[in-house]
């Protein structure tokens, strides 16, 4: 008898993800699963986002890392409610981990919950968390071929942020190639170019968040 363990794991995860989604919807939270490789600039982007969203949407973050609370500590200095999840050896967050964090957040006072997933280009896209959207961050210090090498991350995402564009002149990263490769995987993928140093693209990213929130909750 063949037992598909991975299918069972994902089905169990999906049931918890659906329960998470009900909690989020009850509290009128739009939820993003923010994914990338390590060092892409996710935390810096959220620091910038918090300032740009002031007076429009209230941001809260669930941070996933294998060890340390460094990222949550950084976000809290910017006035962002943040819960740190340390996974030990797990290379991604799953729905049960997110469920464990919900009692530690005042969800009624948050509009947008961002799950800053563990830096990894494989597993995070496989596990539903109860999110509305997956958002992928690709920095120009990586390679423009990443969409072809790790297609699921890009196929599952609604938005791609190409980050650290202030460093573009110091790399051989091709913006045209990266976007073409991403759209080979996901033809309708929205793409925004961003820099957390110059602020370029942050307002466009914030408008995307506000538009998506209005579409969900009116």
What are the pLDDT digits (tens) for 125-179? 999 999 999 999 999 999 999 999 999 999 999 999 999 999 999 999 999 999 9
Question: What confidence category does residue 123 fall into, taking pLDDT thresholds of 50, 70 and 90?
Answer: confident
CATH number at residue 206: 3.40.50.300
* Per-residue pLDDT reduced to its tens digit, 57-113: 999 999 999 898 899 999 999 899 999 999 888 889 999 999 999 999 999 999 999
Angle in degrees, 0-180, between the axes of helices 202-217 and 42-53, rounded to the nearest 10? 70
Q: What is the pTM of this model?
A: 0.93
| Terminal alpha carbon distance of the chain | 50
Query: Average pLDDT in the 193-217 region?
Result: 97
Task: Please tell me the total count of domains within the chain.
Answer: 1
Structure tokens at 150: 């790790």
Instruction: Print the domain residue range for 113.
Output: 5-217
Do residues 114 and 46 lie in contact, with contact meaning Cβ atoms separated by under 8 Å?
yes
Q: Mapping DSSP to helix (H, G, I), strand (E, B) and coil, where does residue 149 land?
A: helix
Question: What confidence category does residue 2 fall into, taking pLDDT thresholds of 50, 70 and 90?
Answer: very low
Q: Where are the alpha helices (DSSP H) in 67-174?
A: 70-77, 95-102, 146-149, 151-155
Q: Which residue has the tokens 């794991």?
A: 9
Instruction: Count CB-CB contacts under 10 A for residue 84.
Output: 20
User: CA-to-CA distance for 49 and 61, rounded, in angstroms?
Assistant: 11
Query: Average pLDDT in the 22-30 region?
Result: 98
């Amino acid at each position: 008898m063949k037992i598909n363990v991975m299918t069972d794991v994902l089905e169990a995860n999906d049931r918890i993800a659906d329960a998470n989604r009900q909690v989020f919807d009850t509290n009128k939270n739009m939820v993003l699963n923010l994914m990338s490789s390590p060092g892409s600039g996710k935390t810096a982007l959220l620091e910038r986002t918090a300032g740009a969203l002031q007076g429009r949407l209230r941001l809260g973050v669930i941070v996933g890392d294998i060890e340390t609370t460094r990222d949550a500590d950084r976000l809290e200095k910017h006035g962002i409610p943040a819960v740190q999840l340390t996974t030990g050896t797990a290379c991604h967050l799953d729905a049960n981990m997110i469920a464990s964090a919900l009692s530690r957040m005042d969800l009624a006072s948050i509009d947008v919950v961002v799950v800053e997933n563990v830096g990894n280009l494989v597993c995070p896209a496989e596990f539903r968390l109860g999110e509305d959207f997956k958002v992928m961050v690709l920095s120009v210090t990586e390679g423009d071929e990443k969409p072809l090498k790790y297609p699921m991350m890009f196929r599952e995402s609604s938005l791609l942020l190409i980050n650290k564009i202030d460093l573009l002149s110091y790399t051989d990263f091709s913006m045209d190639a990266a976007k073409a490769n991403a759209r080979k995987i996901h033809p309708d993928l929205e793409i925004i170019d961003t820099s957390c140093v110059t602020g370029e693209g942050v307002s466009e990213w914030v408008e995307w968040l506000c538009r998506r929130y209005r579409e969900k909750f009116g």
